[in-house]
Every structure is written in structure tokens, then in C-alpha cells.
Amino acid sequence: RTEFALKEIMSSGGAEDDIPQAERKTVTDFCYLLDKSKQLFNGLRDLPQYGQKQWQSYFGRTFDVYTKLWKFQQQHRQVLDNRYGLKRWQIGEIASKIGQLYYHYYLRTSETSYLNEAFSFYSAIRQRSYYSQVNKEDRPELVVKKLRYYARFIVVCLLLNKMDVVKDLVKELSDEIEDYTHRFNTEDQVEWNLVLQEVAAFIEADPVMVLNDDNTIVITSNRLSETGAPLLEQGMIVGQLALADALIIGNCNNQVKFSELTIDMFRMLQALEREPMNLASQMNKPGMQESTEKPARRENPHKYLLYKPTFSQLYTFLAASFKELPANSVLLIYLSATGVFPSGRSDSEGPYDFGGVLTNSNRDIINGDAIHKRNQSYKEMHCLHPGDLYPFTRKPLFIIVDSSNSVAYKNFTNLFGQPLVCLLSPTAYPKALQGMCGMAFPNNLNNPLMAFLFVSGLSSMRRGLWEKCQDYLRKINRDIAQLLTHSRSIDQSFLQFFGDEFLRLLLTRFVFCSATMRMHKIFRETRNYPESYPQLPRDETVENPHLQKHILELASILDVRNVFLENTLDDY
């Protein structure tokens, strides 16, 4: 292929004999690197999606070739322009592939610094207008490359909370789509317009705006900062377990999503990450990072993001995570999924009798469905039942369920004596919040102040007040941490997980969320409250008078005390 391309290029550039040997070698070497890079990049699709070891050496080789290719085209640009006819969109394609490599490396490692590297390459494409000449060529497939680049760049910007850039990109993408569909009259117009609608809904998903004095929107980050998790008191006895792996599963019907990331998955993945650093500045080295150089230590738990998985897919990833979980480590499972309720009455109360949450169904098991519908005594097959997770409780397991049937997971039994906690969302929300209920629970675990403002009926606030409330919320979190560690009747599983910063923050936020909803005037049914397995001692945690006083004080700062009950304890 290289030889053929070379002959074509040389013959179009004049007599082959007229070309100096060194320049001919430059073109040959470039063609070889380009072919090799494409071959390796395409091979990434064949790597197993699960398992953390098998892919690393292949990724390393791919990075090496792209590093050489990128530097080679920079060093020999003039020769490649004259003898190869290198076009700017081809340089853009190389940069775009490097951006994709960094993004996929982030997905594989959960190291947020690689997002910054992806951003720098995607940004360079836009700043240097590498794709600007594509529209002048009568080749729709090149325009599609440009549109896909925009979509990928938007995903990276969303993950980095660069919302100003996202809005600019969406406007540019909209213009590009309009031009593309007008010129080529293609069949994929509807699909590209759907991409625009999805990202617009994603941008507007936050229910509350924080505003600067000039009314510009403040971008708030939900990743773990150095001051994020409450510090442990000296001498506090808690477990030494560390969160090592997380499965983040999204299978809700009609939820805001972009690409294969629902808004709930997006929020939860950020709750399990630290603020990213820039790798290049960290290493005092401009441009591409060599594939052998890695951050000193991995700060974030590894994550698998599963959008609408089948039961088989979910179980495969779960088994891979379980198998590779290091000693003294925790596996977290986040399930944001439609509830599946038991179809018939059952005399028993086992782990398969309460339903669970939906898994995606493949069309090739329609016959199985037909049999199921004829016989009510069968269990729902496209469902993750609590009993399905029993084998994995042989290791420390931390489960979060956000579903209309989350309470099915209250019916757990700790068979193996390992630390096990399930945090369960409300199964229903007050009518005033319906339609927005998907935001209530994940927002509480990811951005509790945003959720507090939302349930209090506030849609915007000034930055100064926001920061004052965040400071007060940090104090509340510290006090909740003390309530949990000083409790005499709390199940030890909670404390076993308390040594990990991410899990400690999730637990304190869960208690804050539960206490807030119990005090709120419109949350009056028991199904409106979060629950947990094992149960938390209410009087020492979610109904503790000291915590209730804090919540009323926060409500007073925001001037929304009227939406909360003053004498909560009298109402039980």
C-alpha cells in the first residue's frame, strides 16, 4: 500500500528521478508511519474492554508510533507539502487520533490528567483551523470526520466542565451540520440534529445557576478537591480499605444523555475523581507526553462506564472487576436504572422475590420473553436482582441504587461477613419535583448544595452566597463524620469504608441528603426518603437534633427556612 501510494505521489510531483534521495526517503518514512499508526489505531477496537492489564502494552506501542508521526510531520512539513501533497485536514486527522488516544486512555485508567492532554490536541485543531478547507472538497466523508471531531471535543469539554467552550463548539457544530446537510442532502441529517439536541439538554441539566456579579455563570466543579472530604479525627478508628474499582451503570428510560453517558453517570463519575492536573506542566515538558511516563501515583479509582448493558455484559464486567480487585480494596457499583417489580405473588422472601433494576434485552431472546409472559411464576430475566450480586459480596462491596425499585436491595443478606453497604434512593418524589426527580438523588451525592437549592425552590444565586454556603456545608460534613464515627449502634460496615476519602464523602452526603428530605415539608411519605442497608441508627444520624439544627441554619442563610419543618422530631 505504501509503495503504491509513493509511486502515485512521486509521479504526480514530476519525474521520479528529479526527486533527491533524502526527500524520497522522507516521504517513504512518513507513509510507513502513517500506515503503521492507522493499523495500530484500528487494532484498539479488538482489545478487550474489561481487564486492566492486557491493553497497556498495545496502547504504549500506539502512543509511540503517533508520537513519532506527529514529530516527523512537524520536522519535515515542507518536504511533505511539496512531495507528498500533505493537506491541513490530514494533519488535523493525526491530531484528532492523538486526542482520541488520550481520551480512551482516560477511560481505561480514570486518570483525569489525560483529559487535559486530549483537550490540548483537540484545541490545537480548532485554533490552527486544520479542518477549515474540508468544506471546499466535494467529499462528504471528510465533512463527517470534521463533525465527529466536534462531537468528541464536546465530550472532553463536558468532562472538564469547560462549558463556555462547549457552547461555542455547539454553535460551530450546528453551522457545520446545516452546511453539510444543505450541500450533500444526506440521510444522516436527523442523527446529527439529535446530537445537537442531546448536548443542548445536557448543558441545561443543572437545575441551579451560580452567577457572578456581571451575571455570567460560574462553572462549579464536582470532583474531589483537597478540602472536599472531611478529615478524620486523630485517633479515630476506621477501616483501611481503599476504593479501587467502580462500575457506573446507566439504564434509565428517557434520561438526558450525550454519546453513551447519561447525566446520572456523568455526575457519579465526577464524584469518584479528583481535580485533574496538566501532565505536561507537571512534568515540565511541552507537547506530547511519552507513553512510558505516567503520573507518580494513580489518584482515582478505576471505572467502567456501562450504558444500557445487557445482563451478560454487566456480569462480565462485574466478574472482571471482582477478579482484579487488589487486597484491602473496595468495589463500588452504581446502578441508575428503571425499576423492575415482581410480576406475581411469592410466598417466599428471597433475594429474587423483590425484583430489581432493568438490564437491556437483546432481540435474540424474544422466545424467552414469550415463555415468561405465559408463566407468572418465573422471575424477570432482564433484571439485576439483589441475589445476582451475592457472589460478589465475598469482597468489600459498596452499592448505590438510584431507581423506582431501589428498596429491593434492602433485602440483602451479608453471607460472607465482608463489609457491605447499599445506599438507596427514594422510590418516589413529591409531585412538585416530578419530571426533575432524576436530579435529586445523584445530585445529592455529587453536588449536595445544588440539590439543597433545587428542593428549596431556588434556581439561581450569587457566587459570594454560594461560597459561604459551601463553607458551612463543609462544617456540616465534618459534624456528620463525627456522628457516624461516635455512634455506638452503627453497623461496622459503614466504618470499614470510612477510611477512603471518596466513600467517606459519599456517606456524609447521603446522611445530609436523608436528613434534609426528612425535614422538608413536601417530602412527607416514607417512599420519599433514601434508605440504606444496613440501616443507619436514625436518632444518631439522619434524625439527629444537632444535624437538624445545622440544616435549619443553612436554610436561614438562604432565606428558605419556611420550606422546612421546625419541630421535626414531634412529627414521628
Q: 242-277+298-361+378-563 has which CATH code? A: 3.40.50
* Measured distance CA(142)–CA(530) in Å, rounded: 50
Our measurement of the distance from residue 175's CA atom to the centroid of its chain's CA atoms, rounded to an integer in Å, reads 28
* pTM exceeding 0.95: no
**Secondary element (H or E) of residue 193:** helix 189-203
Helix (H, G, I), strand (E, B) or coil at 185: coil
The tens place of each residue's pLDDT in the chain, 572 residues long, gives 444 445 455 545 444 557 788 889 999 999 999 999 999 999 988 888 887 677 888 899 999 999 999 999 999 999 999 889 999 999 999 999 999 999 999 998 898 889 999 999 999 999 999 999 887 888 888 999 999 999 999 999 999 999 899 999 999 999 999 989 888 877 788 899 999 999 998 888 887 888 888 888 888 888 888 777 787 776 676 788 999 999 999 998 778 888 888 989 999 999 999 887 654 444 333 344 444 444 444 579 999 999 999 999 999 999 999 999 999 999 999 999 999 998 766 667 788 889 999 998 864 444 444 334 445 668 889 999 999 999 999 999 999 999 999 999 998 889 999 999 999 999 988 887 765 544 568 778 889 999 999 889 898 989 999 999 999 999 999 999 999 999 999 999 999 999 999 999 999 999 999 999 999 999 988 899 999 999 999 999 999 999 999 999 999 999 999 999 986 544 44
Determine the Cα–Cα distance for residues 219 and 259; give it in Å rounded to an integer: 22
What does the domain layout of the chain look like in residue ranges?
19-210, 242-277+298-361+378-563
* CA 409 from centroid of its chain's CA atoms: 23
String of DSSP letters for 75-99: HTHHHIIIII---HHHHHHHHHHHH
Q: Are 427 and 407 a contacting pair, CB within 8 Å?
A: yes
CATH of 19-210, one of 3.40.50, 1.10.3430, 3.40.1710, 1.25.40: 1.25.40
b/e map 481-497, b = 16+ CB within 10 Å? bebbbebeebbebbbbb
Task: Quote the pLDDT of residue 146.
Answer: 94
Is residue 540 within 8 Å of 489, Cβ to Cβ?
yes
The pLDDT of residue 375 is 55
Looking at residue 202, its amino acid is F
